[in-house]
Structure 1
Amino acid sequence: MRSLTQFTEPLRDWAPLPIRLIVGYGFMAHGFAKLTRGPDTFAVVLHTLGVPMPEVAAWVTTAVEILGGASVFAGLLIPIASIPLAVVLLTALFTIHLPYGFFSVKLVQVTESGTKFGPVGYEILLLYLGGLATLTFGGAGRLSLDRWIEKARLRAMQLSPGSGVSPRTL
């Protein structure tokens, strides 16, 4: 009888892909939503929270979410991109979501006109942080730009005389 590991081992390198796509897309979607509404609209929220230079912070947050999300989505320099993305998440956690508790979905009322939900907690922020940590420490996996760049670098080393890299080691 085959062990479960025999079935899952060949797929292990693909495990980061769904995390990358979901986390990357999520950040980009939030960034584009801010851009579409106008970062000035988000700046009003930041001003209300007492964030210094809210206009600058709104534009920086929007750029971090779009560019950082694209980096995660593509699997490019995730350990570097994760730092400003984590700062955005932690800032949102401590300035907005923490007082509302853990749960992101809080059913308040169901009426004939529809369902009403309460304020959003920090559950999803922790999931995003966990996804970033997993990708940072575990790698971007297959179908990532980081993997493609590494393979190209190794091929270039193979072609340079005296590199000590043989085709069999690639």
Structure 2
Amino acid sequence: MLNNLFSVGGKNHRQLAPLFLRMAIGFGFMAHGWAKLSRGPEAFAQLLTLIKVPAPQVLAWVTTLTELTGGFALFVGALVSLVAIPLICTMVVAMFSIHIHYGYSAVKTIGLTPHGPLFGPPGYEINLIYIAGLISLLITGAGRFSIDALLAKTKTIQ
């Protein structure tokens, strides 16, 4: 019955799943990378200094560029298996160096003002979701609607 749900007109639409996963995760990484870049990686380096990360200026730039370029590559489906690894690493480092101290939940309402809710620091929930999505893409590949798929078709034609 589920197979019929994903088949319309004899075509299997399961290949849409990696597309949506890539777009959501890729956009998320690009947004985080852009936020770091627009504030200046030096501001992120200050955070890294506070948590005693070695070479904070270098790693601030590496992280920023990894999130921007890796996020874009995911979004368009280019080199997905390659870019997923450093993106997983950034999530693991962020999870164990910052977010783990705040518990699991990514959303913690700590108060309410006339302008809306106040939120506490996020836990590691989002890190785990990103890691799970990236592992899923490592297993399934970028899918039919990706640059990786176009490159694979080009190689088989030649």
Into which bin does the TM-score normalised by the smaller protein fall? over 0.9
Quick one: distance in 2 between partners of 1:53 and 1:113? 40
Aligned to 1:6: 4
Q: 1:6 to 1:114 in 2, by over 3 A?
A: closer
**What aligned pairs does 1:20-39 form with structure 2 within 5 A after superposition?**
20-39=22-41
1:92-140 deviation digits (Å, cap 9, x = unpaired): 0001000111100011111324311111001011110011001011111
Query: What's the CA shift for 1:46?
Result: 0.5
Q: Per the alignment, in what secondary structure is the counterpart of residue 34 of structure 1?
A: helix
Larger Rg: 1
Structure 2 residue 19 is the aligned partner of structure 1 residue 17: yes
**Stretches of 4+ aligned residues off by more than 3 angstroms:** none
Quick one: distance in 1 between partners of 2:116 and 2:28? 26
Q: State the Cα RMSD in Å.
A: 1.0
The aligned amino acid for 1:105 is V
Quick one: distance in 2 between partners of 1:15 and 1:120? 27
If the length of structure 2 is used for normalisation, what is the TM-score?
Answer: 0.94
The aligned amino acid for 2:103 is G
Q: For structure 2, list consecutive stretches of 5 or more residues without a partner in the other structure.
A: none
Query: What's the CA shift for 1:73?
Result: 0.8
Q: For structure 1, list consecutive stretches of 5 or more residues without a partner in the other structure.
A: 157-170
Quick one: distance in 1 between partners of 2:113 and 2:14? 46
Quick one: distance in 2 between partners of 1:81 and 1:16? 15
Q: Is the 8 A contact 2:15 2:145 kept in 1?
A: no
| Match 1:54 to one of 48, 56, 76 | 56
Identical residues among aligned pairs (%) = 45
Aligned length: 154
**What aligned pairs does 1:40-51 form with structure 2 within 5 A after superposition?**
40-51=42-53
Quick one: distance in 1 between partners of 2:116 and 2:68? 32
Aligned to 2:112: 110
Aligned to 2:133: 131
If the length of structure 1 is used for normalisation, what is the TM-score?
Answer: 0.87
